Amino acid sequence: MADEPLELGEISLSEWHIHTDQMAEAGFLTIARRLPSLVRQAMGMAWRASPRDTVATVVLSLLGGVFTAFGLLATTGVLTALFEEGPTPERVRAALPSLVMVGAAAALRTATQAGAGWAQQRLEPQITRLTEERLYGLTSRVDLVAYDDPEFHDALQRARMRGVATADSVVALAVDVVTAAIGIAAVAGVLGVLHPVLLPLLLLAVLPDAWATVRAARMRYSTLYALIPAHRHKWIIAELLANRSPAAEVRSFTMRGFLLRLYDSVARAEQEVLLRLARRQTIARIVGEALGGLGSALVYVALGVLLAVGAIPLAVAGTAVLAIRSGQSSLANLLYATNRLYEEGLYFTDFVEFCDQAEGRLAVSRPGRPPARFERISVENAAFTYPGSETPALRGVSVEIKRGEVVAFVGENGSGKTTLAKILSGLYEPDTGRVTWDDVDLREVDPEAIRRRTGVIAQDHTRWPLNARYNITMGTGKGEAALHTAAAVAGADEVIAELPHGYRTLLDRRFKDGHELSGGQWQRIAVARGFHREADLLICDEPTASLDARAEHALFERIRGHSDGRTVLLITHRLASVRYADRIYVLDHGLVTEEGDHETLMALGGLYTELYTLQASAYR
């Protein structure tokens, strides 16, 4: 087995690296062309987060460049005084005013850079808060049907996975780009003031380093992009070796050696690629440094020629050397920040585009209100198709629910029961047809008003990482009596009684002193949640899926007792539980095919009879 060839499947890119291929293929000119737009977007985000800190960051960065230029020009005065003829003490005294200006410029530059850094650090948490609030404010308001749209869901994942995380770094990198550009402009301005011919020398000195930096960065980026599947493969295998959930089977099936072989095969392949990268980068750096050395030599030769012909004084040549070295440092910062800004900007654009898309999916304001006490809920010829699906989930369905009734929806999987329930609760709107409470069309009513009047006990309920109290009350403040009544009706009081801290117990083991419930215990909490809402319409969608037979029987008895005067919609596959419903609707492939009470449907001998008989025969 040790020599058996290993089959390593293909691993697709994660959302975190979804744009890495674009970055690997983009040339520097492509990046430079998009730079102004990215800087403008980043500064706009920073302005919305904090105008004061944005202004402070930009202004102080500009002042830093001004003081850099002033310090370089003052250096010329120092060197001129020191290179003059005469006794050394007199030359030093003559240089003192320029030295003071150089020191003052350095101190002011340090102070402004520190101030710009402080303002930039203040911006980052404010930008993070702003982007997160915008994203989650939108995701919690869009129509529920958006989550069934694959394109919307993919855009949401890209915005969440990295789009939000890059917002503050995009602003920081935009500031770095501006700061580095200011530094280069300051150096270029100084050289232009000293002598126009010195500007070409700046290009001669910095271009070889720029080429080497870009070349090495491209090599590394392309290599790391190619290694992303290997990194993901290693991560997946590491999760199997180190996580709790697979730990038992890893030992039961003695998979340790096999998994380590898989890990080692991927790690060795990755190691070989990185070793080749190191060799290629070293060659690129040597070539770049050689060209840089040649460029520097040409600069010094050019300066020597200028000095020899008397075109510039020695002090100006000394200042030019300092300025060129400062320009090289600023250029390196500019290249790094520009590459990073372009990459992060791709993911930041995902965030911006998702927010624009989500805003287009927000429900329009509706002035209507549902009746204070409805007598009848009607669905008239409703049709609904999920985004991306060619098959309708509902095909012209009409049902009626009267106040105080217990109505059941039954049918096989995919028949449209849950979809119809979501339309009744205001979570979905039908593509055609309408839903009315009495004579009020829900298309004219604020969906939130309907949802506040509706309680839902769902099979796929959320296990909220909150304490037991909040898992029932959902943050509403109805008092202790309502809490305890809902828990007792659902049988959740028995669950709460066994918890170490009662209603204050956190129901998530990730918290200190957190407690985990079984599936049946969570089901009772979810039922209590639905009862606590005290809604006009209570929708129970497979409420007993995780309960044992005794608990299931008790729950249905409680639902029947609790429904006195209330309207209950029951969705279940367990047909023995719907025998006493006032009316039963049988759905089949999006159509209502049968309607009536239990006796009426059994007499029809249709789908309901078939399903009920099948289930009943299992208990004989």
Higher pLDDT, 75 or 517: 517
Spatial strand order in the sheet of 376-384: 394-402, 376-384, 432-437, 440-441
Let me know if residue 601 belongs to a domain: yes
Scored b (16 or more CB within 10 A) or e, 339-372 reads: bbbbbbbbbbbbbbebbebbeeeeeeeeeeebee
For residues 407-413, average pLDDT: 89
Let me know if residue 517 belongs to a domain: yes
Q: For residue 524, is pLDDT > 50?
A: yes
Give the tens place of pLDDT for each residue, 95-127.
677 778 878 888 888 898 899 889 888 988 898
* Per-residue confidence band for 381, with pLDDT thresholds at 50, 70 and 90: very high
Average pLDDT over the chain, rounded to an integer: 80
Let me know if residue 588 belongs to a domain: yes
Residue 484 · residue 493 · CB < 8 Å:
yes
DSSP type of residue 455: E
Let me know if residue 1 belongs to a domain: no
Q: How far is CA 613 from CA 544, 580, 616, in A?
A: 20, 16, 5
Identity at 305, one-letter amino acid code: V
Let me know if residue 10 belongs to a domain: no
For residues 161 and 66, membership in a common domain is answered with yes
Higher pLDDT, 433 or 243: 433
Let me know if residue 8 belongs to a domain: no
Residue 535's nearest CA partner among 377, 367, 399 is 377
Let me know if residue 353 belongs to a domain: yes
Q: How far apart are CA 582 and CA 600, in angstroms?
A: 11
* Per-residue confidence band for 1, with pLDDT thresholds at 50, 70 and 90: very low
The SS3 of residue 374 is coil
Q: Residues 6 or more apart from 17 whose CB is under 8 A from it?
A: 225, 228
Q: For residue 152, is pLDDT > 80?
A: yes
Higher pLDDT, 619 or 533: 533
For residues 306 and 406, membership in a common domain is answered with no
Give the tens place of pLDDT for each residue, 202-218.
777 777 776 676 677 66
Q: How far apart are CA 201 and CA 222, in angstroms?
A: 32
Give the tens place of pLDDT for each residue, 466-494.
888 898 988 787 888 888 988 888 888 88
Residue 522 · residue 546 · CB < 8 Å:
yes
Write out the DSSP string of 242-269.
Answer: H-STTHHHHHHTT-HHHHHHHHHHHHHH
Burial class (CB in 10 A: 0-12, 13-18, 19+), 287: middle
The encoded tokens of residue 588 equal 């089949």
Q: For residue 143, is pLDDT > 90?
A: no
**Sign of the CA dihedral with 337 first, then 340, 343, and 349 last:** negative
Q: How far apart are CA 401 and CA 425, in angstroms?
A: 13
Write out the DSSP string of 539-573.
Answer: EEESTTTT--HHHHHHHHHHHHHHTTTSEEEEE-S
Residue percentage of the chain with pLDDT more than 70: 86
Specify which of 296-305, 448-457, 582-591 reaches the highest per-range mean pLDDT: 582-591
For residues 106 and 201, membership in a common domain is answered with yes
Q: How far apart are CA 498 and CA 3, in angstroms?
A: 54
For residues 302 and 340, membership in a common domain is answered with yes
For residues 135 and 261, membership in a common domain is answered with yes
For residues 541-563, average pLDDT: 68
Burial class (CB in 10 A: 0-12, 13-18, 19+), 616: exposed
CATH number, domain with residue 212: 1.20.1560.10
Higher pLDDT, 592 or 184: 592
What's the total number of domains in the chain? 2
359 CA to centre of own chain: 17
Q: For residue 549, is pLDDT > 60?
A: yes
For residues 245-256, average pLDDT: 84
Q: For residue 531, is pLDDT > 60?
A: yes
Q: For residue 581, is pLDDT > 90?
A: no
Query: What is the span of the domain harbouring residue 565?
Result: 376-618
For residues 385 and 348, membership in a common domain is answered with no
Residue 369 · residue 393 · CB < 8 Å:
no
Burial class (CB in 10 A: 0-12, 13-18, 19+), 19: buried
For residues 502-515, average pLDDT: 85
For residues 352 and 391, membership in a common domain is answered with no
Run of H or E residues at 402: strand 394-402
Residue where one domain finishes, among candidates 334, 359, 384: 359
Residue 379's nearest CA partner among 421, 412, 414 is 421
Residue 22's nearest CA partner among 336, 255, 345 is 345
Q: How far apart are CA 95 and CA 86, in angstroms?
A: 13
For residues 443 and 334, membership in a common domain is answered with no
Give the tens place of pLDDT for each residue, 3-23.
555 555 544 445 544 555 554
Token pair 């030019």 is at which residue? 320
Residue 57 · residue 117 · CB < 8 Å:
no
Give the tens place of pLDDT for each residue, 71-100.
777 777 666 666 666 666 776 677 677 778
* Per-residue confidence band for 562, with pLDDT thresholds at 50, 70 and 90: low
CB atoms within 10 A of CB 563: 17
Residue where one domain finishes, among candidates 332, 359, 386: 359
pLDDT at site 593 = 92
For residues 326 and 380, membership in a common domain is answered with no
Scored b (16 or more CB within 10 A) or e, 467-477 reads: bbbbbbbeeee
For residues 388 and 470, membership in a common domain is answered with yes
Vertex 540, ends 538 and 544: CA angle to 5°?
145
Q: How far apart are CA 96 and CA 77, in angstroms?
A: 9
Lowest-confidence pick of 102-116, 121-135, 222-236, 587-601: 222-236
Q: For residue 259, is pLDDT > 80?
A: yes
The encoded tokens of residue 441 equal 């069309």
For residues 305-312, average pLDDT: 77
pLDDT at site 11 = 47
For residues 436 and 325, membership in a common domain is answered with no
Write out the DSSP string of 122-177.
Answer: HHHHHHHHHHHHHHHHHHTTB-GGGGG-HHHHHHHHHIIIIIHHHHHHHHHHHHHH
